[in-house]
Amino acid sequence: MNQDRKTPVAGTHYAKAPERDSIGDNASVETLVAEIIADVRKRGDEAVRDYSRKFDKADLDVFEVTPQEREEALAGLDPQTRADTEFAISNVRHFAEAQLKTIQPLEIELLPGLHLGHRVIPVERVGCYVPGGRYPLLSAPIMTIVPAKVAGCAEVVACLPPNAHKAMIAGCHLSGADRIFRIGGAQAIAAMAYGTETVPAVNKIVGPGNAFVNEAKRQVFGPVGIDQLAGPSEIFIVADSTGDAEMIATDLLAQAEHDVKTRVGLITTDAGLAAATLKEVERQLETLSTAPVAGQAWRDYGEIVVCDSEEAMIAYSDFIAAEHLQVHTADAQATARKLSNYGSLFIGELASVVYSDKCCGTNHTLPTMGAGRYTGGLWVGAYVKIATHQWLDERGVATVAPPAARQSASESLEGHRRAAQLRLDRLQKKVG
């Protein structure tokens, strides 16, 4: 967290997560990532092949997944898994289509003869990084590829680690990826950013990954766009005395099993609920198959805070700006309206993060590390550009040129003044 930002007084801490920051957490990989990026820029496919051998233990002559391999991966997909994947794709697509309809072109005549507007232009070529992870995350390609296709991107390139489960290839295919490459890590980001003999250079890179992927996205930003710098996952729950300790503990641990650095927390106005949740977490860890991961995340990054009032609870939640924020209060809708900073909001105890993580339709690629204070998550709008334009007729020139010329003169920008004045002089000569 930013140490210059004052932490609201929240009350009693039953457990306190350590401070984290996106730069400090990645400091140890910065130099290595820079070397990988420079090497891929210089040697292209040869460098990618070397790093695939070194980091992924994969020796591939051809990186791109062939149409036949796509069909084989699809054929090998369990029928129920395919049906569930298509259910998720349908929901994400329909929600993205509804969002896109809210982004409209604009044309206005601001003053007589002065016409302004903007166009909604899809990013031409997008690169989607699809993490392999500890488990086959079948929802991952859906969240990055489907909105890109809805937005109208001309080409969508997907990269996933060479050792990723074949079901992930099927997921990329079903989601609509135009090209799929078996390249992981920082070398995948470098390949998509600068292009190689076989991987096309893209205009924007989206999708989460490990510390190496995150750092690589940070370093290539500029020549290409990126969606965000995402750290380990986060979930916080705000709750009053009506909260259910078993349900809260279950949801916290569900997210904690993602990664040992997942940050999980409860912010409540009820000390009894805090104590019950603490006890319930420990009870559930005894039988949770993913306890080695979830338990470490809980011990290292778990937090339970008891606040003196609802106002303090809201203030502390807005300070944390959690990636996933659940609301378990007597009037969850009313509480939700008071919250401002979060990646995605889950209103009421029936709305679990797992639904968004997998298939309900909202995107699970969300801001972490407090970035919810200034941005939302990945959405169809991330794949389009809002590009302005303007045109003037003679009335517009007569209105705009004089102040533009005067302002340019006051700034000692003679070239600017001449450009503004030339059109005005010709207009005056024409009408004179």
In terms of domains, do 239 and 336 share one?
yes
**Band (113; pLDDT cuts 50, 70, 90):** very high
Whether residues 209 and 147 share a domain: the answer is yes
Quote the pLDDT of residue 388. Answer: 98
CATH code, domain carrying 286: 3.40.50.1980
* pLDDT band for position 4 (cuts 50, 70, 90): very low
Per-residue pLDDT of 260-279, as tens digits, reads 999 999 999 999 999 999 99
8 A C-beta contact, residue 386 and residue 120 = yes
Within a domain: residue 2?
no
The number of domains in the chain is: 3
Domain final residue pick, 227, 252, 275: 227
**Strand bridging mode 344-347 / 324-328:** parallel
Same domain for 216 and 244, yes or no, is no
Same domain, 88 and 138: yes
Residue 133: per-residue pLDDT: 63
Band of pLDDT at residue 135, cut at 50, 70 and 90: low
Q: Is residue 28 part of a domain?
A: no
- Give the pLDDT confidence score for residue 136 in this predicted structure: 74
pTM, entire model: 0.91
Of the three residues 177, 202, 227, the one that is the final residue of a domain is 227
Q: Evaluate whether residue 26 is within a structural domain.
A: no
Question: Mean pLDDT in the chain?
Answer: 93
* Cα separation of the two ends of the chain: 65
Mean pLDDT of 84-98: 97
Asked if residue 77 and residue 222 are part of one domain, the reply reads: yes
Q: For 421, how many CA atoms within 13 A lie in the half-sphere containing its CB?
A: 11
Co-location of 212 and 335 in the same domain = no
Q: Each residue of 8-62: pLDDT tens digit?
A: 655 666 555 555 544 444 557 899 999 999 999 999 999 999 999 999 999 999 9
What's the pLDDT at 23? 41
423 and 292 in a single domain? The answer is no
- Do both 309 and 210 map to the same domain? no
Q: Are residues 190 and 288 in the same domain?
A: no
Reading the block at residue 295, the tokens are 């338990």
**Which residues lie closer than 8 Å to 116 by C-beta, 6 or more apart?**
106, 107, 108, 109, 110, 388, 389, 390
CA max distance for the chain: 90
Residues 156 and 176: their CA atoms lie apart, in Å, by 8
Domain that holds residue 409: 393-431
Same domain, 219 and 251: no
Q: Are residue 89 and residue 237 in the same domain, yes or no?
A: no
Judge whether residue 320 has pLDDT over 60: yes
**Domain-embedded: residue 69:** yes
Is 50 exceeded by the pLDDT of residue 3? no
pLDDT tens digits, one per residue of 139-194: 999 999 999 999 999 999 999 999 999 999 999 999 999 999 999 999 999 999 99
Active site residues: 323-324
Domain match, 268 and 141 both: no
Strand segments (E) across 66-113 = 106-111
With respect to residue 383, please indicate whether it lies within any of the assigned structural domains.
no
Q: Is 301 left (phi over 0), alpha (psi -120 to 50) or beta?
A: alpha
Copy the structure tokens of residue 276. 């019950």
pLDDT for 332 beyond 60:
yes
Domain boundary among 331, 349, 376: 376
For residue 27, tell me if it sits in a domain.
no
Does residue 408 sit within a domain? Answer: yes
In a domain, 118, yes or no: yes
pLDDT at 431 over 90: no
